[in-house]
């Protein structure tokens, strides 16, 4: 098993990438701390993992709140004795996120509170735990839009994911000699609720698909497999990376003319 004896805390574990990663990490031997603001959702995830013979607990946390982030890390160490994998995955894309003129300050602040401050707070309390464990892996969910910019205006989301990318680079440099690796996972367009709620007609889906060389949306389970690689010792010489899993979209649109 690729995560035998590891303890993995995953935020946003109630749905999408986080949910699929929780199941996969547990199947690969990790004890999983499944965290989400939606407690019933992560309780169901933890119950399914334990029913299958794995180890998991469910924790309710709002990652924009320091006390919640401190408590989720403490729960991992109290329950399993250590923390070795931190997957800062929780994030939002607000329906009213638009261009600079249309996006309200409230939408901007909320997006940054969860997508950026949430990663910062996860690391603030998670890194000391990884240090106590002798090292480990941190995975921060960014996005391909941190590199390309979005095809349709979603300024707060795009800017927040750019911040995650730059924060990841600095954290990787700071902690590289402490046996702590920090990488940004950058998914492309996925068939998840986060995106499909916007692409709610076939016409809208096709307008997005035409830009993806592979001609389809990615699946949350595919991103979970990339997260598994970054969590495992197989990526032992990988840190500070922009780990793109995007169906070729950045290759197509960052190629010089």
Residue positions annotated with a catalytic role: 157
Tokens (6 digits) for 120? 């910062």
Spatial neighbors of 191 by CB under 8 A, at least 6 apart, are 217, 218, 219, 220
CB 241 within 8 A of CB 139: no
Rounded distance, CA 215 to CA 152, Å?
A: 19
* Angle of helix 155-175 versus helix 105-115 axis, rounded to 10: 30
Strands (E), the chain: 7-11, 31-36, 55-60, 85-88, 136-141, 180-187, 242-245
């Amino acid at each position: 098993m690729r995560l035998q004896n590891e303890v993995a805390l995953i935020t946003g574990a109630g749905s999408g990438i986080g949910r699929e990663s929780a199941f996969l990490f547990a199947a690969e031997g990790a004890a999983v701390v499944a965290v989400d603001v939606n407690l019933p959702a992560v309780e169901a995830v933890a119950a399914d993992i334990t029913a299958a013979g794995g180890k998991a607990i469910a924790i309710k946390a709002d990652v924009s709140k320091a006390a919640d982030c401190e408590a989720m890390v403490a729960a991992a160490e109290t329950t399993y004795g250590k923390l070795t994998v931190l997957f800062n995955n929780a994030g939002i894309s607000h329906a009213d996120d638009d261009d600079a003129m249309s996006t309200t300050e409230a939408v901007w602040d909320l997006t940054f509170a969860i997508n950026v401050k949430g990663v910062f707070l996860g690391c603030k309390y998670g890194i000391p735990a990884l240090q106590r464990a002798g090292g480990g892996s941190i995975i921060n969910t960014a996005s391909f839009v941190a590199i390309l910019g979005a095809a349709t205006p979603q300024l707060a989301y795009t800017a927040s994911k750019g911040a995650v990318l730059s924060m990841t680079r600095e954290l990787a440099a700071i902690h590289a000699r402490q046996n702590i690796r920090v990488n940004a996972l950058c998914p492309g367009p996925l068939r998840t609720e986060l995106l499909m709620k916007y692409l709610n007609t076939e016409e809208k889906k096709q307008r997005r698909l035409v830009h993806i060389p592979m001609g389809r949306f990615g699946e949350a389970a595919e991103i979970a497999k990339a997260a598994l690689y970054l969590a495992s010792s197989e990526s032992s010489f990988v840190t500070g990376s922009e780990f793109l899993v995007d169906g070729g979209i950045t290759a197509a649109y960052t190629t010089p003319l």
